[in-house]
Amino acid sequence: MTINDIITLPVSQAVINKTAKNTIRKYSHTYRALMYGRTPVELLDNIYMGDMAKNSLLEYLRARCNNPIIDYDEIRKDNFLEADPGWDFKVGNTLIKVEVKSSTPPNNENLQAIINKRDIKITASHDNGVTMIPPDNLESEIHIQVYFYARPYRNGYDNFQTLQNDLTADPNCIHRIINSAKYNEPLFFGWNTKTNIIRYANTMRPATWTFSWTSRVYWRCPIREAMTLPQLVEFINNN
């Protein structure tokens, strides 16, 4: 992956509408589980960012791939009550599972610095390494990284239910609350396979990385070694 391989995914009105609708549906059930120490607006913002990464990529791929692409959100039967099954969509005639990671650049790093220094974000631990998740246990075979040059919002609401009530009364207010337009330029930063992630875990030292402000630990999966978007299209069309 080089700086010339980074592609800005187009964002259509259909993608914006789908992302907003599904974000609100996911939010109403996610905050009740209280799995994350995030503010009401921060949680809403994070869900939207993740869905925008996935939905913009889906639309891009569906316009270029001949083989099937199945979005879990379009076939799920749980009314958005449960967490996703470890994959975001399936591709190809063999229905290979794909997971899309979304993030913002640490310290607003430039494109080349991200390629040189960063990894596709593959979770290895949620508790500072006390309990590890072996890469062999990853559900998806393909892992994709999308970045946004945007600042996630945190403030605006102190109560989850109050925010939920406002979203229910006026779904369009989500765009004002998080300034959703800031996510209209998703940057595709490459993809890699489960097989390679396992290999990195066995050969790279250190095999994991983290940020000082989080208890989450990640497996190494260098973006500089990631594959490009045209290669992903070719992969889907050949499977």
The pLDDT confidence band at residue 31, using thresholds 50, 70 and 90, is low
- List phi, psi (to 5°) of 33: -75, -20
Per-residue pLDDT of 161-183, as tens digits, reads 999 999 999 999 999 999 999 99
pLDDT in tens, 122-147: 999 988 889 999 999 999 999 999 99
Which three-class secondary structure string do you get for 99-147? EEEEECCHHHCCHHHHHHHCECCEEEECCCCCCCCCHHHCCCCEEEEEE
Could you give the C-alpha distances from 44 to 102, 135, 227, in angstroms and in order?
A: 14, 29, 30
CA dist., res. 237 & res. 239, Å (int):
6
Q: What pLDDT digit, counting tens, does each position of 173-219 carry? A: 999 999 999 999 999 999 999 999 999 999 999 999 998 888 889 99
Cis-peptide, bond into residue 186, ω within 30° of zero: no
Tokens coding 49: 């960012």
Using DSSP's 3-state secondary structure scheme, residue 189 falls into strand
Cα separation, 192 vs 225, whole angstroms? 8
What pLDDT, on a 0 to 100 scale, did the predictor assign at position 236?
96
- How does residue 15 score in pLDDT terms, banded at 50, 70 and 90? very high
Q: How far is it, in rounded angstroms, from Cα 193 to Cα 189?
A: 14
Confidence band, pLDDT 50/70/90 cuts, at residue 32:
low
The predicted pLDDT at position 97 comes to 98
**Average pLDDT in the 59-71 region?**
96
Let me know: does 64 contact 236? Beta carbons within 8 Å. Answer: no
Q: What are phi and psi of 96, to 5 degrees?
A: -75, 135
pTM of the model: 0.95
Integer Cα distance of 188 and 155 in angstroms: 28
| Phi (first) and psi of residue 198, to 5 degrees | -65, -40
Residue 33 pLDDT more than 70? no
